Structure 1
Amino acid sequence: MRLDDALGLLADLGYSGVGLTLDHMHLDPLAPDLAARTRHVARRLDRLGLTVTVETGARYILDPRRKHGPSLLDPDPEHRARRVRLLVRAVQVAADLGAHALHCFSGITPEGTPEATAWQRLTDALTPVLDAAFGAHVPLAVEPEPGHLLATLADFHHLRGLLGDPEPLGLTLDIGHCQCLEPQSPADCVRAAAPWLRHVQIEDMRRGVHEHLPFGDGEIDFPPVLSALSATGYQGLTVVELPRHSHAGPRLAARSLEFLRRADRHRPAATPVPADGTASQGGPS
């Protein structure tokens, strides 16, 4: 879809915001007229009453032959620098749009790269991005992604420790990924992640299978997840992420919102989550 059409559709369906992936057909971050196009999108979002989080998962925006390449872990320093420049530019786009956060991920560890080297590359590469995010007052929301160096909540906390827990560093929590590979339930993951939660992606998924599924096609019990989100006081966006279903976008966008509204009506009462992210005794599970 054209971006204007997609935004109009979401607003008409009753969505309150959008996770906007910068890509060649949707606010191309490498286009020479980026600033003017960003102003147009900002006006469009404002007219439609939509808030936004900027996402950076475009598959071939930098390299037409390598999905998500080059990454922040690329062996070539100049290639890593290209990804860093893209993310720094995306920080400015996020600021100009008034976005809740800027999303990113680590990338897959290149073959033959020692784990310690990969973490060092990641921390070095993220430092200028975090500096830009701090200056622009835009939280950076790093996503644990199955198969990547940073794949789990534990990996996110490892990154926090390596970087010295900088103020702009936050978390993108994908509810399906929690079902796929985290030891805790998705609802418990939400509670554990609460202090760092800056962006949420949601879809259905099965244990051990990284496949984004329409709601009801996987194994997740959603009312407890929505209850946990409510308990955290999270105020950002919770965006439906079905990257392989664009052929059925309008139908699934409508169906997904109806599903989430129905699940929200049936969620258990929320017990407030303390500031350290642990659930109160007797809270929902």
Structure 2
Amino acid sequence: MTLRFGYGTNGLTDLRLDDALALLADLGYDGLGLTLDHMHLDPLAPDLVERTRRIGRRLDRLGLSVTVETGARYVLDARRKHGPSLLDPDPDGRSARVRLLLRAVQVAADLGAHAVHCFSGTLPPGTDAESGWKRLAEAMEPVVDAATEAGVPLAVEPEPGHLLARLADFHRLRHDLGDPPALGLTLDIGHCQCLEPEPPAACVAAAAPWLRHVQIEDMRRGVHEHLPFGTGEIDFPPVLHALAATGYQGLTVVELPRHSHAGPQLAEESLHFLRRATTAANSIPAPSADSSPPASPAPSPAPSLLTSVPGQGGPK
């Protein structure tokens, strides 16, 4: 079994980026999920191109690979978390998010990243779901075109509470856009535990043909709170076994965006945990030759069991 582990910089926001990169290399990580934000690589900085070049050289020296993530909370609007989104009622707001994603595609191309992560956003008050899906598809079209031209896959993440919340919703967007090869999936293992009808290992198998990026952390059923490993409900060896069986070659990135205060410690503990879980996964028998992956599910409403962390307005 060969899996490549990374750590998300949104869980290391108390560190300078150079220090975070050195830490992850010293610990033995294979790479990182680089969130474009003001404290690390600001996508709105006038010298973004030069900053990106410097980071690329640093990554090369340290032997770290990278995926580009676009989940910064307030990078576009200092007062609206994740706003404006691709679903914003204001066309100028949607355009601002599209421009951010286009910059992310260019940064990813310049860094040789294996994917650009993104998500839909929440459905605005007063907007019906069908209008939301139409806005999402229209906003994604130029981003898909740019990703196709740059040769960088997009990896859309089903996010609890968002319009595109589950794997079934990803398939709706994929079909709405005509199934473009550049459009893939970010699978968050914790989100599978939180919200999907199938267990996480089954979600991995179902997602395999579209898998471009993986995020991983512990979580409990029905509660969207990213937890350190061992403090939630997920049985990780079957998940890692299923992930390795797909042949996925990208990074599996630890996603603990609310734990920066303990980032260095958790980065070390997380890698130890994943290595132990990988060893346990190696003892799981391979699936039978006649087994086949599940068919793509049809879109369906998200279950009502989802809750957010009290007082946090969601965990990311």
- TM (norm. structure 1) is 0.96
Contact 1:20 1:55 in 2 (8 A): yes
Q: Does 1:169 align with 2:183?
A: yes
Residue by residue over 1:77-115, the C-alpha shift from the partner in whole angstroms, topping out at 9 and shown as x without a partner, is 011000001100110000000001000000000011011
Residue 245 of structure 1 and its aligned partner are, at CA, apart by 0.5
Q: Quick one: which of 26, 31, 38 aligns to 1:17?
A: 31
Q: Quick one: which of 41, 46, 65 aligns to 2:79?
A: 65
What is residue 53 of structure 2 aligned with on the other side? 39
Q: Which runs of 5+ in 1 are unaligned?
A: 280-285
What CA distance in whole angstroms lies between the structure 2 residues aligned with 1:43 and 1:68? 30
Q: Quick one: which of 206, 211, 225 aligns to 2:225?
A: 211
What is residue 282 of structure 1 aligned with on the other side? none
Q: Aligned AA for 1:251?
A: Q
Residue 271 of structure 1 and its aligned partner are, at CA, apart by 3.3
Secondary structure of the 1:224 match is helix
Secondary structure of the 1:138 match is coil
Task: Supply the RMSD in Å over aligned alpha carbons.
Answer: 1.5
Q: Does 1:7 align with 2:21?
A: yes
Residue by residue over 1:47-87, the C-alpha shift from the partner in whole angstroms, topping out at 9 and shown as x without a partner, is 00000000000000000000000000000001100000110
Residue 25 of structure 1 and its aligned partner are, at CA, apart by 1.2
Q: Aligned AA for 1:103?
A: H
- Counterparts in 2 of 1:122 and 1:274: CA distance versus 1, 3 Å: farther
Contact 1:191 1:273 in 2 (8 A): no
What CA distance in whole angstroms lies between the structure 2 residues aligned with 1:77 and 1:271? 48
What is residue 269 of structure 1 aligned with on the other side? 285
Q: Aligned AA for 1:10?
A: L
Instruction: Summarize the alignment of residues 251-262 of structure 1 with structure 2, pairs less than 5 Å apart.
Output: 251-262=265-276
Q: Quick one: which of 101, 104, 108 aligns to 2:115?
A: 101
Q: Which runs of 5+ in 2 are unaligned?
A: 1-14, 296-316
Secondary structure of the 1:150 match is coil
Q: Quick one: which of 63, 84, 90 aligns to 1:76?
A: 90
Q: Quick one: which of 116, 120, 134 aligns to 1:120?
A: 134
Q: Does 1:189 align with 2:219?
A: no
What CA distance in whole angstroms lies between the structure 1 residues aligned with 2:126 and 2:144? 28
- TM (norm. structure 2) is 0.86
Residue 161 of structure 1 and its aligned partner are, at CA, apart by 1.0
Q: Does 1:53 align with 2:60?
A: no
Residue 276 of structure 1 and its aligned partner are, at CA, apart by 7.3
Q: Aligned AA for 2:137?
A: T
What is residue 194 of structure 2 aligned with on the other side? 180
Residue 269 of structure 1 and its aligned partner are, at CA, apart by 3.3
What CA distance in whole angstroms lies between the structure 2 residues aligned with 1:61 and 1:196? 28
Q: Does 1:26 align with 2:5?
A: no
Residue 6 of structure 1 and its aligned partner are, at CA, apart by 0.1
- Point out the more displaced range, 24-33 or 267-276: 267-276
Contact 1:231 1:272 in 2 (8 A): no
Extract structure 1 runs of 4+ deviating beyond 3 A.
269-279
Secondary structure of the 1:266 match is helix
What is residue 149 of structure 2 aligned with on the other side? 135
Q: Aligned AA for 2:253?
A: V
Residue 272 of structure 1 and its aligned partner are, at CA, apart by 8.2
Greater RCO structure (CA 8 Å; 6+ sep): 2
